[in-house]
Structure 1
Amino acid sequence: MNRINNQSKLDDYIEKYNIEDFFGINMKNHMELHSFNKGSHIVKVNEPIDYFYFFVEGKIKVYTILKNGKSLLFRLYNPLTIIGDVEFIDCDKANSNIEAINECLCIAISMSNIRKYAVNDPTFLKCICESLGKKFISSSIASSINILYPLENRLSSYLLAIAPENNEHSNLDGGIITDKFTEMADLLGTSYRHLIRTINKLCDEKIIRKERNSIIILNLNALEKLAGDLYK
């Protein structure tokens, strides 16, 4: 995590997402802008969470680690998303992993200041309730995805979600995606062997091309049809 000391940029994001409207009191002086590099964790499960975040730029994935050591994907998010609402209510440690898919920006307020100044703010508490309600619905949907949708659909949606929007190294429909396939299999709730079979099937259909630990999207429209919006 890096602090960005740029008040003008912070003000732009506050205005863009109407962050001040989430509070009935003035919390602007307590806000900071934090950046996270691709692949870094914004929060990690069972580790202290020191900041309440408004996620304002980039893409993030939320996942947990099961008792058998495997990862399981919950959801992928675009802005605007609140991070720390569950922990604000319940505990000091994160209950899931949140990882930056690309460079991400968050408006941060220290958890101590949130609890000190906003704990009795009706406007903020309403915001928390709405956020928790949305996450409950998302969690219910996510828990059914692995059961109700074939891996082909889940993989397609995941690839679209993590694909860079613009890639200067590729003139194909989509960008180049790199990922460890063992980790991808865990996140999608499948075996490595089944994942590779599914990737090879999409390769045979000329939808993607696999190159070592990279996947290149060849037919964006076909991938979008398979994907739907499972992880959006």
Structure 2
Amino acid sequence: MKRVYDSKNVEKYVNRYHIHDYFNSSYPFYLMEYEKDEMMIHPLKDTKEIQFVVEGEVSIYFIDSNGKQLFVSQTNELCVLGDVEFVRHEKPVYFAQTNTKVVTIALSIEENQLRLNQDLKFLHFLLNSLVDKLHN
């Protein structure tokens, strides 16, 4: 995983995917780049960012009590990762692993927690994201 702070590149993705539409305020976004087969989210590791997948494909799964890997979903562009962890304030229950090279627009949860908790547009976006995940 590599963090990219190049403001022109970040702004290109933010504008292309209308990320500002999900927020009432401006936030310090950055990009995260992952190689194929890289683990993005792991139950033993705190999730530190909310991430919008803008390029590539991600598999989301969990491992049951018998050690069997159970596939939850496969996502393409503009899937949101870290939303459940933002709301619950605990380690993730799912794994997210890249199937291809992946680029995400990321936002630090820790640095923006207070502002995000007061951002009604963002909270409504999260609510819709979580309901979509339940529905699927």
RMSD of aligned residue pairs (Cα, Å): 1.1
Deviations 1:198-222 (A, max 9, x none): xxxxxxxxxxxxxxxxxxxxxxxxx
Aligned-partner Cα distance in 2 for 1:110–1:131? 18
Q: Which runs of 5+ in 1 are unaligned?
A: 139-232
Q: Give the secondary-structure state (helix, strand or coil) at the position aligned to 1:116.
A: helix
Equivalent residue, structure 2, for 1:127? 125
- Amino acid paired to 1:135: K
Alignment of 1:1-232 (within 5 A): 1-27=1-27, 30-138=28-136
- Amino acid paired to 1:12: K
Shift of 1:111: 1.1
Q: Which runs of 5+ in 2 are unaligned?
A: none
Instruction: Kindly indicate whether the alpha-carbon contact (under 8 Å) linking 1:33 and 1:107 is maintained by their aligned counterparts in 2.
Output: yes
Greater strand percent: which structure? 2
Greater helix percent: which structure? 1
Aligned-partner Cα distance in 1 for 2:66–2:112? 35
- Amino acid paired to 2:121: T
TM-score normalised according to structure 2 size: 0.95
Shift of 1:92: 2.9
Larger Rg: 1
Shift of 1:95: 1.6
Q: Give the secondary-structure state (helix, strand or coil) at the position aligned to 1:118.
A: helix
- Amino acid paired to 1:129: L
Instruction: Kindly indicate whether the alpha-carbon contact (under 8 Å) linking 1:52 and 1:114 is maintained by their aligned counterparts in 2.
Output: no
Shift of 1:134: 0.5
TM-score normalised according to structure 1 size: 0.57
- Which range moves more in the overlay, 110-119 or 61-70? 110-119
Shift of 1:6: 2.5
Q: Percent identity?
A: 26
Aligned-partner Cα distance in 1 for 2:52–2:87? 16
Deviations 1:178-202 (A, max 9, x none): xxxxxxxxxxxxxxxxxxxxxxxxx
Aligned-partner Cα distance in 1 for 2:106–2:87? 17
Larger RCO (alpha carbons 8 Å, 6+ apart): 2
Deviations 1:152-183 (A, max 9, x none): xxxxxxxxxxxxxxxxxxxxxxxxxxxxxxxx
Shift of 1:52: 1.1
